[in-house]
Structures are given as C-alpha cells and as structure tokens.
Structure 1
Amino acid sequence: MSSSTPLLAVDELSVAFHRRGHGETRAVDGVSFTLEEGKVTGLVGESGCGKSVTSLALMGLLPDRGVRVGGSAVLRLSDRGEEVVEADLLRISNRRMRDLRGSQLAMIFQDPLSSLNPVVPIGVQVTEILKRHRGLRGTPARKEAADLLYRVGIPDPARRLNEYPHQLSGGMRQRALIAMAVACKPRLMIADEPTTALDVTIQAQILELLKDLVTEEGTALLMITHDLGVVAGLCDDINVLYAGRAVETAERGPLFADPTHPYTVGLLGSIPRLDAPRGEPLTPVRGSVNDNIAWTDGCAFAPRCDHYTMECLQGPPPLVQVANGAGEGDDAGSAHVHRCVNPISHPEVVDRAVLESPAVAGDDEEERA
C-alpha cells in the first residue's frame, strides 16, 4: 500500500454477538487494514476466524439487535478540490448505507443460488439495480443488463435475462452476481469466497474476471477466502486472520517467501503441491478453530501451536514488524507485521518456490489457461 489516502481505512473493527445467558461472543476483535483503488487485499483464514462477519459489518448487513460493533471504517467518497468527503460505514444511517450499496460499494456473496431471488428472472434483478442507482428503465435498462451479462462472460445474454437462477449453472449464477455488483461501477467491492463450490476451470475464469475489473475500473477489491492458492495469484496485500484478529500482514511476495507466524506456516503447509513427491502427506494445522484461548489471556493460537512457550500465555501478543520486513517500499503500508512472541525465523520451513508452483494460481497467463 502506498502513502496516499486509502479508499477505505478500517481501524480496530470489532463485532460481538450477545447470546442470552452466555454473555458476548467476539467474532471480530480489533481488525485493522486499508484498501486502495486498483489493488486487491486479501482476508485469509479458516472458517470461523471472522472474515465474513468483517464483510457484513462493512456492508451494514449485520442484525440490528444482539450485535455490538466497534471501531471505524472510513470510506473516502469523493475529492472536491482539497476537501475529502468521507463516511464512517459503521456510523451512517441505514438510509445512507442503502444509497451507497451498489453505487459506491458492492458485495459478491459466497453462495449465488441463495443470494439470488429464486422466483425473479435474472434480468429483473439486474435492472432493479440500474433503476435504483442509475435511473434506467425499460428498454435501455434491459440493454444495459444484457451488456453487463455479456461483459462477465455469459453467453446469449438476451435470452438469459428471461431465465431464473435455477436455470443457470453455478458458474453463470456467480457471473450474474458479479454483473450486479459492477452494474454501477462501485469504487469498493467485497468478494466473500466467490469461487466456493466451483470447479477449477470456472474458478480460474472468475478470478481472471475479478482481476480484469480491478485493472480496468480501478476498483478496490477485498478478497475473502480460505484458499491461499487464490490469494497467491490475485492479492497485492494479505491479512491472515485467526480468532478474530490479524496474526500476520504482508505483501504477497514476503508472506509466501518468509512467513513468520506458525499459523501462516501451517496454512501454507496444507496446500497441495503438484511438484511435491508422490505420496508425500500434507501437514495440516492440528486441532480445530475452536481450540483457542481468549486473546486477553495470551495468543489464541497457542493450544494448536507446536512452537509455543509459556511467554505465549502472558497476555495478548502485540502486532510487531518483522525484522527486515519492510518490503520493497519505504512506506508503512508495505510493512510485514505479525502477532507472535515466538515467531518462526527459518525460511526453509516454506519452499520459496511456492509462488511458482503449478498448484498455486499465478500471474502466468499460460498457467491460467
């Protein structure tokens, strides 16, 4: 990230759910990151680490009752000369948020079948956004909707406008969601596991489409996934989350070449490698995401970590910069930081060739094909 003003600055975001008789459960616990136009930022971690709750909080889609949200998420709406118009997404009214959704920010949900209305044709769902935010109606709206479907790679878009979600394949439904998300050219887009349940060929096509949209439109994309192979070929900056907190943050290259937090190392060690010897077993992270302790008592990952010491249980570990981890730039945004008092400092634990592995999505167009 650069030293320029970010499009979105999330600072100490926290989300706690109140359960009657059980007190509060913190799903997100002090997450901070920034998004810049024309760049892709990744939120990575196992299911239950707080990724999706983070996205729902930013979009204002959490329930009104039984939820406590803290921190700030300041979105830069526009520049008027030297004046910058901003809005805190966690503090604005529901009416103001509805105006921003679709026009300034949009979200691609994980399951397109449940995200689309099953009893409404695709064309009506796309034109509804065009009517709400761009004032298009009738024939112009349908023409624009067909153009959007064509742009995201749906064949025979004019016919597809009259079809229902169940008549489309999984890949087409996901493309329709992307068409709806980009209909008004939002400056910020959140993609929550957009390639889940898709085969590898369709997955590669969807990722290529998202990358093209970021490049062509200058959109800031927040990519939420558990798949490090996806972020290796798409993201510029990566935030690894565990139990609601970021445990390691770095640019893509330093994170894959020299991971320092044991959790990041464990995630990388569980990636299948086509160039690995036949029969070599994966080394998954032991235990489950439920095997943790409160951050107030120490490192939440300690019960699953093979490198923990008693120092790991002496209160919450701070987020510190990795030695020689400033990245290629001198700005703070490119810093490599982790939340660990006993980090791994041996580069050999992860093969530096992981970025070139055929099993990991890369930037080479021939490999994508």
Structure 2
Amino acid sequence: MCCVSGQEFNLSFNLERHKDTGTMEKPWKCGDCWKGFSYSSELEMHRRSHTGERPFTCSTCGKGFTQSSSLLTHQYVHTEQTPFKCSECEKRFKSKKYLLRHQHIHSEEKPFTCSLCGKGFTATSNLQKHQRVHTDKRPFKCPDCGKCFKTSGEVTCHQRVHTDERPFRCSHCGTGFRRSSELTVHQRIHTGERPFTCSVCGKGFIQSYHLLKHQQIHSDMKPFKCFDCEQSFRSSNGLVMHQRIHTGERPFTCSVCGKGFTQSYNLLKHQQIHSDVKPFKCFACEHSFKSSEFTRERDCSPVPSGNGFTDLQLVLKHQRLHEHLQGLDSAVFAAVNQIQY
C-alpha cells in the first residue's frame, strides 16, 4: 500500500512504479478528460473507462475486466482457494487486497478520513460509500420499482422485497430474514444476549436503537413538540401517536367490526371482545374477564381462568355486589356483638 495515497497493489513492482508517478512528468494525456499519465500503458488502461472495453474475460462466468490482474483476482471467486492468510487471526482471503483491508481491524488504523465529518475508514471503498451520506446522490436504481439507493448493496437487499427472498435463516426457529443484520438481532431473542447496556440503570437491550429510546427516560429532555397544542414528547413515536388526537386518524382497524384505533395495542385489547377467551379471574368469586383492567378496577388480582363477564359495566356491577355483601356481613357481625354485650 502507498503510504501517501493509500492505494493498494498486488505486486511490489506496481507499488514502486506508482511511487515514481509522484515525481515524474505525465506526458500521456487522455483525449476525453485530459488526465495525465506517466506511461502509455496506463493511458491505454484508463481509456477503457471511457470506451467500456473489457478485453480480459472470465472463462467461467463471462465477466469482463479492464486489467489482467483484476481478472486473476476475480477468478478466485470460482474456487475455494483462499491463499492470503492474516498473520494475526489466521483468517484467509481470496485476494491480497481483501487481506490488507482486513488487517486494519487489528491495528485499528483508519487512514481514510471523511473531509466533511472526520469519520475514519479502513478502506477507500468504504469512505466513498460513506460520502454519499453527505449528498443526495442515489446512483443505484431498482429495476422493478425505480426506487434509487446510495449503494449497490442496498439495492440488492431492497429487491428481496419484490421476490420475498429471505436467504438468512435462524438455526433455532427457521425464521427467514432479508438481511444478515436482521438475523443477528433476531438470534439474541434465543440466546438472551443484550449487548447494549444503559450506563444509568444497567438495563440491557437487544438493539442500540432501543437503548437510545430508553435513555430518554433518565433525562428531562422532550425534543418532539406538537405544533397544534405544544405538548412535548421524549420520542418521535409518542408525538406521532399524540397527533392522531388532532387529526382523528385511526390507522388500526378491527377486521370484524371495522372500529378504528390510534394504537395497535388498543386494537389488540378490543379484539378480545370478539373472542370467548377470558383469561383474568376475580380473586373474590372466580368469575373471569377478558381484560386484566376489569379486575384491577377495584384492586382485584388477575388470575388465568375460564368463563365470565363480557362487558365492563357488568364487571363493575358485579364487584359492587361483593362490596355490598361485605357491608351486610359487617352490619350483622356488629348487631350480634351488641346483643351479646
């Protein structure tokens, strides 16, 4: 690798030749872009970027390349050979280019720095991808829907939406995912791993996003303000749900009766009305209810059970019956004591 430009080379000869270009004149000029080169062979290779010529073709897959060295590196893709081994961790690679890029992990060296935000990267390709964050350029288009993306990898992942391809499978439950990162997060459900820990209370989370949301609990900051009533919220989700009060939007609709709700949680609660499941039991008489809130109205403790009431008013009326009977028992007990004394 050149210590000045960071460019990587497979052969030491090419590296030395590259170093010479820093001091040599560049008499060979490209007629299309007027870029200068020290050697005619370099100009010839460069011209292929304008003409699209790729004279070196892979005999296995037909892919073309502008340089013979690029073809030789590519051909390792079709074999199991990984001749380049890392001296630190013994991980193997199909090209020296990938090995050199990998070795930055062990040194923590990030020589390629973004001039806009200062973030460092181990490879020029990663820096180039990152720099699109600071622009609106989205050069990669989905052929199915025309949506544009900043990287080719994002297009590949997006296209699985159209094909419903889920190549990343969980070894525990068989659930498929479109991205390997989604599988990694999902597997933490099975392993119990919670790598993101709150520094204030020690609570662990599966995703960094969940930790960031949680940390707002420990602060008084409420940066999300409603424009209608100026009420503030700790999260954007809280603001979105609140704004439905002003707009009347009820995006969660019951498929049985068509009633709409502002939150999915309220829809799930409502749907119990249309079923015969009554998992919450009154501690006093063992009658059962469809919601734990029914039993909590008068400090009842919810306990899983069988049949019972279906309406909140009936529940309240039922619980007042317990209070009334309890009052009669107290009156009778007081009267008996008065007679005895």
Question: TM-score, with normalisation over the residues of structure 1?
Answer: 0.20
User: TM-score w.r.t. structure 2 length?
Assistant: 0.21
Q: Which has the larger radius of gyration?
A: 2
More strand by share: 1
Larger relative CO (CA 8 A, sep 6+): 1 or 2?
Answer: 1
